[in-house]
A and B are shown apart, each in its own frame.
Chain A
């Protein structure tokens, strides 16, 4: 039904998006918690920097990644010499680009849901002998779970659709960094590939719909676990 190239694009897209979201999940939640629960110097500045990927043209983000994480970049040099890791023009590089672009969306959603958790419940838990970690994992996180799921899906969708930063930083290499959007772009550039482009378009829509449905289902499940169950009376 689908051609090899199409399967490949789907596979790369999912691999990049899952890796990107998996990579930013823990730092994203940690940063969101820090922003939601603490006041510190430079918070506004950090908040601004955090939101940069949302407001900058993606190509600019890709370019910044290239000069910092590229072979000659200050961070890239270090990664190369210490770990032998090269990011540009690899699928891992595409994941980094997607992760950076998705990060602010994740942090925003998680922060909002953390802020909605009653700090009085956290205080009550601490008087019951729970340390910070226990309070976080038994009270804060479960109560913020619906927001965390929403944030994760948003981030996942953003990572799937990432184009500008990816093509700049990781290029458009078939079988390596050619994700669905890049494959679609390539087909649009190719004369006579209109039908193939339309197919990819439909595939993209299906994947997006599936992830939306999955997130809605998970969020509903989480909310039901949290909310009152009058039938339990």
Chain B
């Protein structure tokens, strides 16, 4: 197991219909972007792909900063772009918040001036709350050039939020921040996603960010969408392993905090069926729902509960699916059902054959708790 980001569980499937429809084509030199999408009306949707896969181009089309060669973009019933009918609503009338990779704060305005630049009257009453939520209250009188990278991003996020956007577009907002700052900002963004009901489109190329924050995932490659679904569904697809981290691929399972054991600096977590797990102490309230990111290579399998082994986390599971196992492979991917959630693991084909594993077999999954990074 690696990191447990203090993040809520995946929300139930959105009840309202998809909010953003797009069907666009755009050519930029040799690069051709072609995308058809219907994004859900709530939660965090990640546009994920390597650099050059077209995620930022897609975001710019949605924001109205670029015009597709052909196609349409609709938000609910409102047409934002329709090349056939010659409609291109300019960015300032789209009411979409954009957080750019570089914070793009206005250097001649103080932080307060930046925040209020596009503030809607209806948001005035929420100014204090948003500033508080982002932890930027003490920066209000400063000029942007005196801010650190993380502070500037937070101001940029607040500035976009205060326009009361119908959709918040974030273009790799963690780029250029170091590990600790990244974690910190990720937590802010996550709190935000929980506390405001604005859907977020989050562009990223980092699988860690993805598993920490996304509910819905759109996978892009060479300007095309290769897969799109709920995060947990895509993480459980063997054929996408290479796109979603490869060797570092991971599953996400949702747990709740039972209690803390300060004497050993551990936090105990439970699955819905009552099975428990221990992880290095986390800052989380009892009962809080968390996502755990568990790399596939940190999960080992045993036919029965082993004795005399240091693996503390043992979860009873059922083998649900087995990945391709042709004769050239060294390893085999498996998907387990643990309390209704999917947990993936990878083992050598040799171990797989010798253990005689099959679908529907009950099994014990051993998770290396020492692999946790204590904060």
Binding site for B on A (CB under 8 A): 118, 120-121, 123-131, 135, 138-139, 142-143, 225-230, 232-233
- Rounded to whole Å, the gap between the CB of A149 and the closest CB of chain B is 15
Which residues of chain B from 61 to 112 have any CB-CB distance to chain A below 8 Å in the complex?
63, 65, 90-98, 100, 102, 104, 106-108
Which one of B138-146, B211-219, B227-235, B289-297 is at the interface?
Answer: B138-146
Chain A residues near B107 (CB-CB < 8 A) = 143, 226-228
At the interface, yes or no: B163 with Cβ under 8 Å from chain A? yes
- Rounded to whole Å, the gap between the CB of B67 and the closest CB of chain A is 14
Given contacts A127-B65, A129-B118, A130-B117, contact A121 B146 (CB under 8 A): no
At the interface, yes or no: B344 with Cβ under 8 Å from chain A? no
Query: What 19 new A-B contacts, CB under 8 Å, besides A120-B102, A123-B104, A228-B107?
Result: A118-B104, A121-B104, A124-B98, A125-B118, A126-B65, A128-B117, A128-B118, A129-B93, A129-B163, A130-B118, A138-B117, A142-B108, A226-B107, A228-B143, A228-B145, A228-B146, A229-B146, A232-B142, A233-B142
Q: Complex: how many Å from CA A167 to CA B65? A: 51
Which among B90, B141, B143 has the highest number of chain A CB atoms within 10 Å? B143
CB within 8 A of B146: which of A123, A126, A226, A233? A233
Q: Is the Cβ of A230 less than 8 Å from the Cβ of B104?
A: no
Q: Complex: how many Å from CA A203 to CA B107? A: 41
Q: Is the Cβ of B92 less than 8 Å from the Cβ of A126?
A: yes
Chain B residues near A139 (CB-CB < 8 A) = 106
- Rounded to whole Å, the gap between the CB of A172 and the closest CB of chain B is 46
- Rounded to whole Å, the gap between the CB of B146 and the closest CB of chain A is 6
Chain A residues near B102 (CB-CB < 8 A) = 120
Chain B residues near A142 (CB-CB < 8 A) = 108
At the interface, yes or no: B159 with Cβ under 8 Å from chain A? yes
Q: Is the Cβ of A230 less than 8 Å from the Cβ of B146?
A: yes
Q: Is the Cβ of B92 less than 8 Å from the Cβ of A129?
A: yes
At the interface, yes or no: B364 with Cβ under 8 Å from chain A? no
- Rounded to whole Å, the gap between the CB of A125 and the closest CB of chain B is 7
Mark contacts of B127-165 with chain A using CB atoms, 8 A cut-off: 1 yes-contact digit, 0 otherwise. 000000000000001110110000000000001100100
In which size bucket is the chain B interface?
A: 20 to 34
Chain A residues near B160 (CB-CB < 8 A) = 127-128
Q: Is the Cβ of A121 less than 8 Å from the Cβ of B106?
A: yes
- Rounded to whole Å, the gap between the CB of B38 and the closest CB of chain A is 23
Query: Could you list 17 A-B pairs, sorted by A, with CB under 8 Å?
Result: A118-B104, A120-B100, A123-B65, A123-B91, A125-B118, A128-B92, A128-B163, A131-B90, A135-B92, A139-B106, A143-B108, A226-B108, A227-B107, A228-B107, A228-B146, A230-B146, A232-B141
Chain A residues near B63 (CB-CB < 8 A) = 127
Nearest residue (CB) in A for B98 is A127
Chain B residues near A124 (CB-CB < 8 A) = 98, 100, 104, 106
- Rounded to whole Å, the gap between the CB of B107 and the closest CB of chain A is 6
Q: Is the Cβ of A232 less than 8 Å from the Cβ of B146?
A: yes
Chain A residues near B145 (CB-CB < 8 A) = 227-228
Which among B96, B106, B159 has the highest number of chain A CB atoms within 10 Å? B106
CB within 8 A of B159: which of A128, A131, A228? A128
CB within 8 A of A120: which of B104, B142, B163? B104
Q: Complex: how many Å from CA A167 to CA B117? A: 51
CB within 8 A of A229: which of B98, B104, B118, B143? B143
Which among A126, A128, A142, A232 has the highest number of chain B CB atoms within 10 Å? A128
